[in-house]
Amino acid sequence: MKIVREAIAGTLESNDVFVRVSPADKGLNIQVQSIVLGQFGAQIEQAARQTAQMLGVQNAVLSLDDRGAIDCTIRARVETALLRGAEVQA
| Residue ranges binding other proteins (CB under 8 A) | 14-15, 35-36, 38-40, 42-43, 67-71
- In the complex, minimum distance from the CB of residue 33 to other proteins, in angstroms, rounded to a whole number: 14
Cβ-Cβ contacts under 8 Å for 45 (sequence gap 6 or more): 30, 32
- In the complex, minimum distance from the CB of residue 75 to other proteins, in angstroms, rounded to a whole number: 13
Tell me how far apart the alpha carbons of residues 51 and 57 are, in angstroms, rounded to a whole number: 9
Taking the least distance from each CB to other proteins, the nearer of 35 and 88 is 35
Taking the least distance from each CB to other proteins, the nearer of 36 and 88 is 36
Buried-state track 22-50, b at ≥16 Cβ within 10 A, e below 16: beeeeeeebebebeeeeebeeebbebbee
Taking the least distance from each CB to other proteins, the nearer of 34 and 84 is 34
